């Protein structure tokens, strides 16, 4: 590469304008651009994702530049003539910067955003169509409609200068917005294209003064910029895709969309200018109006497709936001429930420790009474006291286990037996309130895995709450039922009366997600450990509180015997 530049410098300084100088200059520049194209291709083949697209676009842009230089070889070496003032290959040189702009818009040095790949591609397409439209509007008419070299050259040079300035501005932004290896690469590419922009402007100035020839001193900075591009491709270090969390939106995506929309809305202005410019020939004026209408139709269709894709993207983001909000609410509910259970556990733990001492005393005194000389009725009452004291101690132990968040001792228990015991323990309260307590249980067992003491505590608590509720409403009947429903055992505790709207709100507050009862919180925690739940309903048939627990054998054989209906006798 250094030898090529040295040869070019020596030829420009020593050799007079000749075919050999022209051939040497064109071939050296063509080799430099060819090596520049090849320097980026291996990275495009080795990379993945948007990094592969980035290097492919860079290679395409340099490749188009090489193709334009090959056009010069065709004219000056093969045909041995000067490149025409209005060359059809000028459009290749003009368009070679467009893939480079598209590559910079990918921003591989930054974390990828969720702007939408298809939306970004449409934005690129809008800009590409816009640059092509500008070339057709300003340059094409003077080349094919009304042939005129001077306006053709002026418009081409001015438009190409604007394009190069826009590309250099994008390069500077990428340079300041990157780090390490990417910063060095963008700096080298910016320096190479700044040198090229200055040298091409000087070459155009020399052409206008008729002092330029291939291989002259004006070609030395031009060849230096080509060599600089090759060096930038050969000595790339640390240019890898930057990982990171994909953001939902970026200002770059918004501005890219705005630039595309500005390009689309500029078409009516160009159409108005074309109609009012009476200094140009009518054929060019008509051609510009037709070209503007065609570009407006094409870009309008692209804007419509982009809007459709944007609507889909917004709907997807809206659904994602709703799902995230629902997950956040569930997490907040779980945290609140955990905090409530923790507070309940601390309170229950302290109360259970305080209850242990009097319960121990009750057990001791009841055992002394049983060993004393008592009448049979007194012996029965003492045995009842001892039984209830031991049950209370078992319930306190369950409360301590719940407070310390220890897993319950799971064994196979029969819900029918537990329900009979719970109803029997609630019988004194129901008799005092003059409430008939009915129970309907299925034949056979309702086996579940659980802690019998904790489940009994839940049943007694809910039955007692139900007795209090129907006593306040003046009702006199409470029914407890149990049944199989697939893999679940369902216990219903209901009365035939319906509740008012105010009472329904209170039930919803107690048994719903916003639980305010301390005992019901403990019950819900116990049922949660048993993979069960509590619910309520109020309809025309009455009010029911239901408990669902998974059975250990969810698919037993159905019994042909009728369900038992049992009503406990009032206590004496």
Per the model's pLDDT, the better-predicted residue between 469 and 259 turns out to be 469
Cα three-residue angle 550-555-558, rounded to 5 degrees: 115
| pLDDT tens figures, 69-108 | 999 999 999 998 988 888 888 999 998 998 898 888 777 8
Domain assignment present for residue 472? The answer is yes
State CA 341 to chain mean position distance.
Answer: 33
Q: Most confidently modeled of 196-205, 334-343, 490-499?
A: 196-205
Q: Are residues 437 and 377 in the same domain?
A: no
pLDDT at 571 (0 to 100): 38
pLDDT at 418 (0 to 100): 86
Once rounded to an integer, what is the mean pLDDT over residues 330-353?
72
Q: Are residues 387 and 429 in the same domain?
A: no
For 362-446, strand residue ranges (E) read 411-414, 436-441
| pLDDT tens figures, 266-278 | 888 888 888 888 8
| pLDDT tens figures, 497-556 | 554 555 555 554 544 443 434 456 667 778 888 888 888 776 665 677 888 888 886 544
Residue 108 phi/psi, 5-degree rounding, is -70, -15
Per-residue DSSP letter, 209? T
Q: Are residues 429 and 467 in the same domain?
A: yes
pLDDT at 178 (0 to 100): 84
Q: Are residues 487 and 353 in the same domain?
A: no
pLDDT of 482 over the 70 cut: yes
Q: Are residues 48 and 15 in the same domain?
A: yes
Token code pair at residue 220: 């030395």
pLDDT of 256 over the 70 cut: no
Asked if 226 and 26 count as a contact pair (C-beta separation under 8 A), the reply is: no
pLDDT at 555 (0 to 100): 47
Q: Are residues 390 and 461 in the same domain?
A: no
pLDDT at 505 (0 to 100): 54
Residue 54 vs residues 8, 241, 247, 251: alpha-carbon distances, Å: 32, 10, 20, 20
For the chain, the first-to-last Cα distance in angstroms comes to 114
Asked if 14 and 204 count as a contact pair (C-beta separation under 8 A), the reply is: no
pLDDT at 404 (0 to 100): 59
- If we measure between CA atoms, which residue out of 172, 102, 151 comes closest to residue 130? 102
pLDDT of 381 over the 50 cut: yes
Sign of CA dihedral 463, 469, 472, 477: negative
Q: Are residues 381 and 421 in the same domain?
A: no
Burial of residue 490 (CB within 10 Å: 0-12, 13-18, 19+) is: middle
Residue 534 phi/psi, 5-degree rounding, is -120, 140
Q: Are residues 396 and 416 in the same domain?
A: no
pLDDT at 71 (0 to 100): 92
Cβ-based neighbour number of residue 45 at 10 Å: 11
Residues β-bridged to residue 447: 414
CATH number of the domain at 438, please.
3.30.565.10
Domain assignment present for residue 132? The answer is no
Q: Are residues 422 and 562 in the same domain?
A: yes
Q: 123-126 contacts: CB < 8 A, separation 24 or more?
A: 123/256, 123/257, 123/259, 123/260, 123/306, 125/302, 126/260, 126/263, 126/264, 126/299, 126/302, 126/303, 126/306
pLDDT of 223 over the 70 cut: yes
Integer-rounded Cα Rg, in Å, for the chain is 44
Q: Binning pLDDT at 50, 70 and 90, where does residue 308 land? A: confident
Q: Binning pLDDT at 50, 70 and 90, where does residue 242 land? A: low
pLDDT at 194 (0 to 100): 94
Scanning the structure block, which residue is given the tokens 């003032």? 85
Q: Binning pLDDT at 50, 70 and 90, where does residue 568 land? A: very low
CATH number of the domain at 360, please.
1.10.287
pLDDT of 137 over the 80 cut: yes
- If we measure between CA atoms, which residue out of 564, 565, 567, 524 comes closest to residue 548? 524
- If we measure between CA atoms, which residue out of 127, 100, 123, 98 comes closest to residue 252? 123
- For the chain, the average pLDDT equals 79
Asked if 419 and 455 count as a contact pair (C-beta separation under 8 A), the reply is: no
User: Last residue of a domain, which of 194, 219, 243?
Assistant: 243
Threshold 0.85, pTM exceeds: no
Say how far apart CA 8 and CA 30 lie, in whole Å. 12
Cβ-based neighbour number of residue 332 at 10 Å: 10
pLDDT of 62 over the 90 cut: yes
> Residue 553: in which H helix or E strand, if any?
none
Residue 266 vs residues 116, 232, 314, 430: alpha-carbon distances, Å: 25, 36, 27, 86
Domain assignment present for residue 111? The answer is yes
Sign of CA dihedral 47, 48, 49, 52: positive
Say how far apart CA 259 and CA 289 lie, in whole Å. 23
Say how far apart CA 365 and CA 368 lie, in whole Å. 5
User: Last residue of a domain, which of 243, 271, 295?
Assistant: 243
The count of domains in the chain is: 3
Buried (b) or exposed (e) across 404-420, using 16+ Cβ within 10 A? eeeebeeeebebbebbb
pLDDT of 442 over the 80 cut: yes
Domain assignment present for residue 286? The answer is no
Q: Binning pLDDT at 50, 70 and 90, where does residue 446 land? A: confident
Q: Binning pLDDT at 50, 70 and 90, where does residue 403 land? A: low
pLDDT at 66 (0 to 100): 94
Asked if 431 and 571 count as a contact pair (C-beta separation under 8 A), the reply is: yes
pLDDT at 243 (0 to 100): 52
pLDDT at 513 (0 to 100): 41
Q: Binning pLDDT at 50, 70 and 90, where does residue 188 land? A: very high
- If we measure between CA atoms, which residue out of 312, 308, 317, 306 comes closest to residue 257? 306
Residues β-bridged to residue 113: 247
pLDDT of 428 over the 70 cut: yes
The 3-state DSSP class for residue 449 equals strand
Domain assignment present for residue 509? The answer is yes
Asked if 399 and 352 count as a contact pair (C-beta separation under 8 A), the reply is: yes
Once rounded to an integer, what is the mean pLDDT over residues 488-499?
74
User: Last residue of a domain, which of 371, 400, 429?
Assistant: 400
Q: Binning pLDDT at 50, 70 and 90, where does residue 409 land? A: low
Once rounded to an integer, what is the mean pLDDT over residues 343-355?
69
The 3-state DSSP class for residue 393 equals helix
Looking at the chain, how many residues does it have? 572
Contacts of 226 (CB under 8 A, 6+ apart): 29, 32, 33, 36, 192, 196
Once rounded to an integer, what is the mean pLDDT over residues 397-426?
74
| pLDDT tens figures, 149-179 | 889 989 999 999 999 999 999 899 889 888 8
Say how far apart CA 520 and CA 514 lie, in whole Å. 11
The 3-state DSSP class for residue 280 equals coil
Domain assignment present for residue 249? The answer is no
Cβ-based neighbour number of residue 99 at 10 Å: 20
Domain assignment present for residue 131? The answer is no
pLDDT at 2 (0 to 100): 79
Say how far apart CA 564 and CA 420 lie, in whole Å. 12
Residues β-bridged to residue 88: none
Say how far apart CA 569 and CA 428 lie, in whole Å. 10
- Residue 378 sits in which domain range? 327-400
Once rounded to an integer, what is the mean pLDDT over residues 311-321?
81
pLDDT of 213 over the 90 cut: no
> Residue 395: in which H helix or E strand, if any?
helix 376-403
Per the model's pLDDT, the better-predicted residue between 404 and 557 turns out to be 404
Q: Are residues 7 and 83 in the same domain?
A: yes
Q: Are residues 349 and 421 in the same domain?
A: no
Which of 64-68, 250-254, 356-360, 490-494 is predicted with the least confidence, judged by mean pLDDT? 250-254
Once rounded to an integer, what is the mean pLDDT over residues 459-475?
79
Q: Are residues 390 and 416 in the same domain?
A: no
Domain assignment present for residue 483? The answer is yes
């Amino acid at each position: 590469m250094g030898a090529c530049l040295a040869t070019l410098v020596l030829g420009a300084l020593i050799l007079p304008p000749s075919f050999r100088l022209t051939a040497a200059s064109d071939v050296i520049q063509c080799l430099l651009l060819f090596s520049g194209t090849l320097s980026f291709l291996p990275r495009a083949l080795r990379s993945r994702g948007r990094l592969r697209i980035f290097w492919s676009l860079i290679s395409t842009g340099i490749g188009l530049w090489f193709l334009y230089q090959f056009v010069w070889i065709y004219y000056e070496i093969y045909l041995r003539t000067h490149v025409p003032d209005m060359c059809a290959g000028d459009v290749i040189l003009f368009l070679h910067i467009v893939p480079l702009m598209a590559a910079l818009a990918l921003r591989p040095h930054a974390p990828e955003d969720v702007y939408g790949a298809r939306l970004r591609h449409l934005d690129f397409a809008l800009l590409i169509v816009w640059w092509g439209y500008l070339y057709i509007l300003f340059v094409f008419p003077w080349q094919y409609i009304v042939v005129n070299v001077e306006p053709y050259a002026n418009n081409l040079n001015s438009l190409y200068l604007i394009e190069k300035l826009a590309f250099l501005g994008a390069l500077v932004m990428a340079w300041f917005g990157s780090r390490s290896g990417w910063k060095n690469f963008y700096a080298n590419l910016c320096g190479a294209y700044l040198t090229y922009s200055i040298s091409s402007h000087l070459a155009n100035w020399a052409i206008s003064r008729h002092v330029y020839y291939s291989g002259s001193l004006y070609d030395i900075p031009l060849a230096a910029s080509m060599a600089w591009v090759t060096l930038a491709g050969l000595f790339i270090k640390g240019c890898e895709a930057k990982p990171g969390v994909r953001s939902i939106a970026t200002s770059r995506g918004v501005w890219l969309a705005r630039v595309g929309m500005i390009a689309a809305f500029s078409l009516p202005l160009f159409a108005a200018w074309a109609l009012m410019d009476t200094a140009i020939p009518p054929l060019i004026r008509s051609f510009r109006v037709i070209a503007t209408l065609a570009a407006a139709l094409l870009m309008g269709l692209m804007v419509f497709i982009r809007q459709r894709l944007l609507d889909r993207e917004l709907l997807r983001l809206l659904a994602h936001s709703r799902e995230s909000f629902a997950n956040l609410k569930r997490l907040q509910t779980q945290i609140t429930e955990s905090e409530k259970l923790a507070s309940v556990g601390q309170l229950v733990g302290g109360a259970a420790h305080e209850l242990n001492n009097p319960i121990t005393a009750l057990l001791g005194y009841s055992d002394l009474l049983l060993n004393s000389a008592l009448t049979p009725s007194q012996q029965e009452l003492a045995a009842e006291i001892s039984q209830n004291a031991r049950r209370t101690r078992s319930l306190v132990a369950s409360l301590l286990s719940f407070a310390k968040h220890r897993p319950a001792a799971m064994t196979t228990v029969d819900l029918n037996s537990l329900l009979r015991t719970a109803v029997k323990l609630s019988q004194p309260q129901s008799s005092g309130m003059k409430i008939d307590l009915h129970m309907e249980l299925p034949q056979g067992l309702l086996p579940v895995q659980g802690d019998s003491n904790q489940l009994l505590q839940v049943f007694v608590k809910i039955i007692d709450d139900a007795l209090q509720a129907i006593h306040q409403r003046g009702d006199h009947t409470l029914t407890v039922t149990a049944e199989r429903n697939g893999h679940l055992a369902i216990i219903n505790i209901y009365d035939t009366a319906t509740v008012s709207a105010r009472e329904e709100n209170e039930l919803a507050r107690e048994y719903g997600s916003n639980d305010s009862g301390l005992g019901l919180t403990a019950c819900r925690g116990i049922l949660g450990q048993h993979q069960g739940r509590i619910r309520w309903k109020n309809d025309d048939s009455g009010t029911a509180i239901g408990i669902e627990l998974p059975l250990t054998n969810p698919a037993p054989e159905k019994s042909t015997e009728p369900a038992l209906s049992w009503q406990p006798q009032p206590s004496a």
